[in-house]
Structure 1
């Protein structure tokens, strides 16, 4: 018999899984948009390495978020936790360092145009 507490916990863990997936996708999209030369210029790992790490993180958080093979309705697995850590490191450390190297057009008085 499934009680109301179990239903609430299931919902909470599913929301955490969806949040982890969104975090990983956000980090991956940002890494794709930054030029490859920005990573060594900011003294960070290469773009290719970060794309591999964040691609795997997105894959490992996608499965629980969509409940692939029953993975989404329980405690977050080790790979999901490691994926959140990797995405968090990218967003907290690498993103601010490489964002200043974003390529763009002409620079106007209020930014690129």
Structure 2
């Protein structure tokens, strides 16, 4: 009896994690420009939106199909680990420079010798 309660709580937490990750990866894929995918030599934006959208729909509509959820999770992980950093670097969103200005060089700000 205790195990049944634990299993239901664990499956709920797992489902929430899958849903959260699916929503986050789909939202990030939707906000990236189309040309960034091409410039990073990754699949198209349409491809990733369809793949991640199907993942999200399967997680919402078929919560008991663990095999499909894990397959969708793998697709979302591939997007977040491989595609997202590549398109982020192309579109200028990151790369380690936080709050830098256009006059910053590789070793800090360039102020013309002043």
- 2:90 pairs, out of 66, 86, 101, with 101
1:35 aligns with 2:17: no
User: Match for residue 110 of structure 1?
Assistant: 100
Q: CA RMSD in A?
A: 2.1
Distance (Å, rounded) in 2 between the aligned partners of 1:77 and 1:20: 10
Q: Spell out, residue by residue over 1:14-65, the C-alpha distance to the aligned partner (whole angstroms, 9 max, x if none).
A: 1101101110110000011100000111010000000000000111112355
Instruction: Flag the structure with more relative contact order, 1 or 2, with Cα contacts below 8 A and sequence separation at least 6.
Output: 1
Distance (Å, rounded) in 2 between the aligned partners of 1:103 and 1:33: 14
Q: For the Cα contact (< 8 Å) 1:34–1:101, is it kept in 2?
A: no
User: Match for residue 13 of structure 1?
Assistant: 11
Distance (Å, rounded) in 1 between the aligned partners of 2:61 and 2:5: 20
**TM-score where L is the length of structure 1:** 0.77
**TM-score where L is the length of structure 2:** 0.76
Q: Cα–Cα, structure 1 residues 64 and 16, in superposed 2: closer, same or farther, change >3 Å?
A: farther
Aligned length: 97
Q: For the Cα contact (< 8 Å) 1:34–1:103, is it kept in 2?
A: no
Distance (Å, rounded) in 1 between the aligned partners of 2:54 and 2:83: 17
